[in-house]
Amino acid sequence: MGQTDRIRVLTTLDRVRTIALPKEVPVSTQAETINMRTDADRKRRLQLAADLTHESLTSFVLSAADERAERVISDSRTTTLPGAFFDAFFDSMAPEPTAALTGAARRLGRTVSRDR
């Protein structure tokens, strides 16, 4: 399986499991331009925050936007299920693990985990 095909199972609460299917976003090395308009109060607040972090206004705004974009993208690729439903779903995929599946799980212990 390729890196984008792996299923990561993360326990978010005692009775809730999460399945996340990561996808890579292509990164371009070519510089692009984003033009924005804002009101004076927002620009002053953003400039103050940029100054406090010793960043340019552009760097600060892009960093904040990038962090939010990562959260939105991550959230769109995650499905949270109640624990009982997750267990039934997970069990239906491979009720009796084969030797190959058990061996693969042992080698890739961090890729798929299951909490009970």
Do residues 65 and 88 both lie within one domain? no
In a domain, 39, yes or no: yes
Query: How remote is the C-alpha of 92 from its chain's centroid?
Result: 25
CA 9-1-69 angle, 5° bins: 55
Domain of residue 6, residue span: 1-23+78-116
pLDDT at residue number 20 = 57
C-alpha 115/C-alpha 71 separation (Å) is 24
pLDDT at residue number 89 = 79
Number of DSSP helices (H) and strands (E) in the chain, helices first:
4, 3
> Six-digit token pair at 59?
């760097």
Average pLDDT over all residues of the chain: 76
9 and 112 Cβ atoms separated by less than 8 Å? yes
Domain count, the chain: 2
In a domain, 112, yes or no: yes
pLDDT at residue number 76 = 83
pTM higher than the cut 0.75: no
Do residues 41 and 72 both lie within one domain? yes
Q: Tens of pLDDT along 29-65?
A: 788 899 999 999 999 999 999 999 999 999 999 999 9
Three-state secondary structure call for residue 83: helix
17 and 86 Cβ atoms separated by less than 8 Å? yes
Do residues 89 and 116 both lie within one domain? yes
